[in-house]
Each structure stands twice: as structure tokens, then as C-alpha cells.
Amino acid sequence: MTTITLSKSDAAGVKTDAVIIGVVKLGGGVALPAGTESLNAAYGGKLVEVLSGLGATGKAGEVTKVPGPKPGKSAMLIAVGLGPAPDGSLKTEDLRSAAGAGVRAVKIGQSVAFALPTPDAECVRAVAEGALLGRYAFTAYKSADSDEAPGSLTVLTDLARNKDAKAALERAQVTAESVAQVRDWVNTPPSDLHPVEFAADAVRLGKEYGVKVEVLDEKALAKGGYGGILGVGQGSVNPPRLVRLTYTPRKPVTHLAFVGKGITFDSGGLSLKTSTGMVSMKSDMAGAAAVIGATLAIARLGLPVQVTTYAAMAENMPSGSAARPSDVLTMYGGKTVEVLNTDAEGRLVLGDALVRASEDGPDLIVDVATLTGACVVALGTKVAGAFGNTDSARDRVVDAAVASGEAMWPLPIPAEMLDKLKSHSKVADLANITGEPWGGALAAAAFLGDFVADGIDWVHLDVAGPAFNDGAAAGYTPNGGTGYAVRTLIELAASAS
């Protein structure tokens, strides 16, 4: 992946292919934020007039290109709208998005310098993250002659020699590399990423970054009684896996457990999805990818937090051996579930993993899953739903999401939802659906919560919307896999340390 550096070089004199600045929406026009004085002077003090003449309004994400001020130096100046800033302050997410939008406007082989406002280390990290995330491209299946080495990225800042800024840059680099890995996994065609290959990738990366990785194959899953994972995976010729990652630093301040849904392709099973509904279902393993990626990043950063992660991997396919509606599965731990819809499979693999994660006695369990279309109906495609068995645990994770720039909204788990799941089956402890067309995301959360041991704080993140972007790229978010939740989980661990 591209690396990024800090420099105190002057924005007007730096030699690069492009310099990216921000412009603020002010009244009916635009204004330049602090730090662009030398560039403005290089344009004879007329930079605002030049940009306004080209139609710049300062709207967030808007990109305006002008020739560089000095021949032989920067060939291009790119002004990115930061939106309104009536009190003169800018949010880190504004900077992150602006850096991403700016770098996407430049060819991948070109060098870029960022002259966005960086008054503190957090702003340095936001600019660096946006730049690195915005430069991401999934090229594994492109013809070789289309490959191009990425150009250099530089953040221009007076804090270039500051210790905190250097640490912020390192975290941005590690975070972006982890997000890129998650995006790669999500974007990989399902014919090339079955549970076996996915688990092997986790083992390889665990060795590289000093994280212990254990893999339960189908025989070990059967011996251990993991009926949910086996039941979902039994219709596929590609067997399921349960992957456990363990990072244990010296004197950890807390113990976090992450659980991820890893359905490498979801056809819906015998409760078959529509053809259009299957198109993006290679992304149904985004939760498992996110928890693996975050765990590796936390280890690389050396955060003093113990992390135990479970990635439940299966392929949900229809066949003569597939689970049937009305089959009863005995989950890990002994609870029985009547499967009334084989397309409500994510909760089944997660149920097994949540029981197992509870046995480790963590202080907090966070599961991440592309779980329900109902959550997308409720919150749209950019916002994840956050559920929890305590308000304090849920709010802690939401606060981490806000700090990291990932959109998340708290949702309830009404007690009646679990009652409906239990009463909807006449032959098992509970059904995997309520049988009602409403409140699907809430019912799924209630189902999962029933597999968490008493006394353990638990938060469920339904990322069905933001984990995969079917639309056009925007800011630092590409089309396809987004790597959603990696930054939230890293921030959760960092805030605990």
C-alpha cells in the first residue's frame, strides 16, 4: 500500500504533481482556511476569486482544479469543499473526507501533497487516513497492463516533527492498511474466497503480526457441537470454519472480544434470494473481515488491550444436503433453534460464536455483522445500527464510531422480540425469525443477545448498509467493500488504553 509522510515544506513551493487544499463555504462564496496564505500569495492574493470564477462553492466534497502557481513545482492545485465552518472550526471527518475526495481526483501514479488544516495531531491523522483510504483501488482482477505504481503522499504540516503527530501518522498508516485488507477480502469474488481460504489468510497474517490464530475445521466443529455454523454450511461443498484470534499484551487494561459474521457467499439457502439480491452477497463476510482486520491492527499498534476474536465462516448454498425450513439445530452450548428461514443464517453462525466468546470471560463482546436488510430500511446505506444489553456498553461503542468518523445509530432491543422468537417455534427453544414482517433488525439482535452469557456487556453492530457501497465512490469511500467498523473497533481499543 502507499506510504505517507509528514513535511514542513511550504505548500506554494513543494514539488509534486498536485497540492490539495480545503475551501470553506462562507455565505454565498468561499473562504480559505488558515495555512493557505503562501498559496494565496502565489496567485497574487486572488485565489478565492480564481476558485469562485470556476464555480467553487465550498460544498463538502466538491472538487475544483486549477493549474499550479509555479511552473516546475506543483502541476495542479485541487481545492476541495469543506462545507460551512461558521465558528472557524473543522471536524476531523470533514478533513478525512476532503483528503479522500482530493486524492481520488488525481491519477494513482501521481504524487500528492495535502495542505489541509492540521492544527493538532488528530487532524493530522484524519488527513492521512483520508488520503490513504481515498487512494485505495481493487486491481487484483484487472489486466496486468493496467497496473500502475502509486505515487507518494505527503501531509504538509507545521507538526511534522511533533511526537504526537508522528504517532498519529503511524496509526493512520496501520489503520488504512487494515481497512484496505478488509476491502480486498470483501471485493474478492466468492469463487476465490471460501471459508478455507479466508481462514488461511487469517493464519498467514496472524503469523506476520504476532497474533495467535486457531482454526476449527468441519470435524472439530462437529466434535465441539457447533450446530449453527455446521447447519448453515452443510449445503455447500466448501466446508465451514471457526477462526479464533488471540492478542494478549503484557498487563492489558481490559479484555475485548470481537465476533464477526463470515458468510463468504449468501444465496439464502433453500429460502433462495432473488437474483438481484445475490449480486452483492460476496460482502456477507464483511463482519468477520472487519473483526480480523481490527484485531491485527490493534496488535500492530501494540495497544494494551487483550483481544479475543471469533470469525464464524460458512457458505450458505442450496443443495440436497442444505438445511431445510423446519429443521432444528442444536447450537453450541445446547440451545435448540428451529430454522424457519434459511436466509436468516447469520444469526445462527453468530449464536455459536457468541456462546464460545462468552466462555473467555471478556469485559465486553462486540459482534459485527451484515445481518439484516431491515436495518438498511431503517437507517439507509451509510449508517450502522448499534444494539446492546446495556446502554452504557452500546454508547461506548457509538462514541468510538463517532470519534473514528463512522456513522452509527443506537437502536433498542424490545423484550417482546425474544418472546416472539421463543413462541414462534413449537418444537425448539426458539425460532430464527418471528414470522412478522416488521422489526427484523430488532428481532435479530434479540436472537443474538440470548446467546450471550449473563453478566457480560455485549454490543451488536448491524452493518448491512455501510459495509458495501453499491453506488459511486465519495470522499474516502470507494465503490464495493468499505472496511466499515475497523476504525470503530481500533478506536474502542485505543480509548480503553
493 exposure class (CB count in 10 Å sphere: 0-12, 13-18, 19+): buried
- For residue 273, the model assigns a pLDDT of 98
Q: Which of 44-53, 62-71, 227-236, 253-262 has the lowest mean pLDDT?
A: 62-71
What is the pLDDT confidence band of residue 71, given thresholds at 50, 70 and 90?
confident
Kindly state the greatest CA–CA separation across the chain.
80
Q: What is the pLDDT of residues 284-296, one digit of tens each?
A: 999 999 999 999 9
What is the pLDDT confidence band of residue 26, given thresholds at 50, 70 and 90?
confident
> Given the DSSP bridges, would you call strands 153-156 and 112-114 parallel, antiparallel or unpaired?
parallel
- For residue 147, the model assigns a pLDDT of 64
List, in sequence order, every residue forming a beta bridge with 262; answer none if it has no partner.
313
Distance, in Å, from the CA atom of 265 to the CA atom of 260, rounded to the nearest integer, reads: 14
Contact status, residue 339 vs residue 327, Cβ threshold 8 Å? yes
- For residue 87, the model assigns a pLDDT of 63
Q: What is the pLDDT of residues 164-181, one digit of tens each?
A: 999 999 999 999 999 999
Distance, in Å, from the CA atom of 368 to the CA atom of 293, rounded to the nearest integer, reads: 12
- For residue 497, the model assigns a pLDDT of 78
% of the chain exceeding 70 in pLDDT:
99
What is the pLDDT confidence band of residue 100, given thresholds at 50, 70 and 90?
very high
- For residue 86, the model assigns a pLDDT of 61
Distance, in Å, from the CA atom of 229 to the CA atom of 207, rounded to the nearest integer, reads: 25
CA-nearest of 148, 65, 60, 156 to 107 is 148
- For residue 143, the model assigns a pLDDT of 82
Strand residue runs (E) in 224-370: 241-247, 255-266, 306-316, 327-330, 336-339, 364-369
Average pLDDT for 230-259: 98
Q: Over 60: is that where the pLDDT of 434 sits?
A: yes
423, three cell numbers = 413462541
Question: Which residues carry out catalysis?
Answer: 273, 347
193, three cell numbers = 474466497
Distance, in Å, from the CA atom of 490 to the CA atom of 362, rounded to the nearest integer, reads: 17
Average pLDDT for 288-309: 98
For the CA atoms of 458, 463, 466, 470, the dihedral, rounded to the nearest 10 degrees, stands at 170
- For residue 342, the model assigns a pLDDT of 98
312, three cell numbers = 464464524
- For residue 145, the model assigns a pLDDT of 57
> pLDDT averaged over the chain?
96
For the chain, how far is it from start to end, CA to CA, in angstroms? 28
- What value, to the nearest 5°, has the Cα angle with vertex 409 and ends 406 and 413? 140
Average pLDDT for 390-416: 98
> Given the DSSP bridges, would you call strands 76-84 and 63-67 parallel, antiparallel or unpaired?
antiparallel
Q: What is the pLDDT of residues 29-56, one digit of tens each?
A: 899 998 899 999 999 999 999 999 999 9
Q: Which of 35-44, 250-259, 274-283 has the lowest mean pLDDT?
A: 35-44
Distance, in Å, from the CA atom of 280 to the CA atom of 480, rounded to the nearest integer, reads: 9
CA-nearest of 44, 121, 130 to 405 is 130
Average pLDDT for 342-358: 98
- For residue 146, the model assigns a pLDDT of 58
One-letter amino acid at 386 equals A
What is the pLDDT confidence band of residue 261, given thresholds at 50, 70 and 90?
very high
* Alpha carbon of residue 454 to chain centroid: 28
Classify 368 as helix, strand or coil: strand
Q: Over 90: is that where the pLDDT of 386 sits?
A: yes
DSSP 273: P
Q: Over 70: is that where the pLDDT of 74 sits?
A: yes
In this structure, the chain runs to a length of: 497
Q: Which of 2-11, 84-93, 363-372, 465-474 has the lowest mean pLDDT?
A: 84-93
- What value, to the nearest 5°, has the Cα angle with vertex 292 and ends 291 and 294? 65
- For residue 447, the model assigns a pLDDT of 99
pTM of model > 0.95: yes
